[in-house]
Amino acid sequence: MEPETADQKMQDFEMQVDLTEREQQKPFSEKAVKRDFEMIIISDKKKKKKKKKKKKKNEK
């Protein structure tokens, strides 16, 4: 095998490994975003409930 061919194959392999690593990391970041988004929604719902309770208390 010629050195140039070996170098090219090694570069191709390294690129493939990089792409695979990126693909494996992507689902984790998507899961984190989804989890954070759900936490924001939940906290917003809790804030709304607190406001409703405060309004009811003040009306009495």
Q: What is the pLDDT of residue 13?
A: 92
What DSSP state is assigned to residue 60?
-
Q: What is the pLDDT of residue 60?
A: 58
**C-alpha distances out from residue 14 to 4, 26, 27, 48, 55, Å:** 15, 18, 21, 51, 62
Amino acid type, 3:
P
Tens of pLDDT, residues 8-60: 888 999 999 998 887 777 667 777 888 888 888 888 888 888 877 777 777 65
Burial letters 15-35, b for 16+ CB under 10 A, else e: eeeeeeeeeeeeeeeeeeeee
Q: What is the pLDDT of residue 42?
A: 86
